[in-house]
Amino acid sequence: MINNTRHIFTLLTLLVVITVSIVSTSKNVSAAPDPFADFYQKNCVPEAQASGLTKEESRKLCNCTVNTLKSKHTFNDFQNLLSRYRNRDPKAKEILTSYGTACFDKVLGDLLFED
């Protein structure tokens, strides 16, 4: 009976340790903001609207831009690029603007030729 109790206690302790580990890991993962979503919400859409696009046009443009950025940059690489952009690095601005311009041409073309 004592052996059985020790075994159950050991298993319960292990279960608690694993649960705490999983909860801690999930908190750490969710604590890191997604730089792509951050750029979309704080930079791309507001700047596109400020330039005269409607909210819907801005969303289409920024969806294209962010999808392109995700295909070209890793999470960490883009986080670095975004930080440089927000610190007014001209090269970072040039890089982000080039993606936005390519998407603008595509989105504008789609808007002009919609049925």
Dihedrals φ, ψ of 74, to 5°?
A: -75, 165
Is residue 15 pLDDT above 80, yes or no?
Answer: no
The pLDDT assigned to 12 comes to: 35
Tokens at residue 15, please? 């279960």
Tokens at residue 59, please? 């969303």
Domain ranges across the chain: 1-32, 35-112
110 against 84, higher pLDDT = 84
CA distance 89 to 82: 10
**Confidence band of 115 (pLDDT split at 50, 70, 90):** low
Helix (H), strand (E) at residue 40: none
pLDDT, mean of residues 2-27: 42
DSSP state of 73: S
Is residue 20 pLDDT above 70, yes or no?
Answer: no
Is residue 13 pLDDT above 70, yes or no?
Answer: no
Closest by alpha carbon to 37, among 60, 62, 72, 74?
62
- For the question of whether the overall pTM of this predicted structure is more than 0.85, the answer is no
The pLDDT mean for the chain works out to 79
The pLDDT assigned to 30 comes to: 57
In the block, tokens 């340790």 appear at 17
The pLDDT assigned to 107 comes to: 84
